[in-house]
Amino acid sequence: METTVNNKIIYPKIGGWLWLPVISIIVSMFQFLKFIFMAITHREIFDIGLNYITLLYNLIIIIYIVLISILFFRRKSITSGLFVILWLFWMAMATFIMIHSSNYLITQQSSNSVTYQFFGSIVGGLIFIPFFIYSKRVKSTFTLPLNTKDSLENLFASVEKFVSSLEKFLWKRRKLLIPGIIIYEVIVIVLSIFISAFF
């Protein structure tokens, strides 16, 4: 049920398609936890140098997902921008790991996992980044400002201006958003191949 404040529709509860991205990242978090568990319990997998990078990446993503999920359920205005940053980072790291890992993966299962992460991040980015930029429901649900007295929310206060600027930048260029995401991914692929060739 919606309410109107200053001629703006405000949704006091999370509903509709908004459940999809949070379910997606929570399911992904369990996949990252599974990888960490496999890395710890199967030492031969963990001994590959690449997996130290992948393990660190997974830990960063898990922490970020937990924090962003808390802000999601608190309906904070910074949430949509943090989701966009998550997907952009996720796409870049999954691409780098996919390209760089071809020389190091020793099992078909680990190769399938990396491939799944790569394609999942691309498809998710192409769906959820535009969703968080275009959706009126997103703008009408995540309306609450950060409470700087809350220690968790205060962590994000320093990046709030940057996140807000990113959202405005993407909104102004919304007609070029999908091509922009594809160009971003091509640049990441080229940089990943370049880095992979020299390291």
C-alpha radius of gyration, the chain, whole number: 18
116-135: average pLDDT: 86
Cross-strand partners of 8? 5
pLDDT of residue 45: 54
Distance of alpha carbon 153 from the chain centroid? 18
Hey, is 76 helix, strand or coil? Answer: strand
User: Is 91:185 a contact under the CB 8 Å cutoff?
Assistant: yes
pLDDT at 109: 57
39 has pLDDT over 80:
no
Q: 175 pLDDT exceeds 80?
A: yes
Average pLDDT (138-166) is 87
Span 116-126, mean pLDDT? 84
Residue-wise pLDDT tens digits, 176-191: 888 888 898 889 888 8
Question: Band of the pLDDT at 26, cuts 50, 70, 90?
Answer: confident
Residue span of the structural domain in which 117 resides:
3-198
Query: What predicted TM-score, i.e. pTM, was given to this entire model?
Result: 0.80
Give the SS3 label for residue 10.
Answer: strand
Gap between the Cα atoms of 125 and 122, Å rounded: 5
What spatial distance separates the first Cα and last Cα of the chain, rounded to whole Å? 54
Q: What is the pLDDT of residue 47?
A: 53
Q: Looking at the 3D structure of the chain, how many domains does it have?
A: 1
DSSP type of residue 5: E
Q: Which of 114-118, 146-150, 156-160 has the lowest mean pLDDT?
A: 114-118
Q: What is the pLDDT of residues 55-106, one digit of tens each?
A: 777 788 888 888 888 889 899 989 989 999 988 988 888 888 777 766 555 5
- What gap in Å lies between CA 148 and CA 165, rounded to an integer? 19
Q: Answer for the pair 106, 48: CB distance below 8 angstroms, yes or no.
A: yes
Mean of the per-residue pLDDT values of the chain: 80
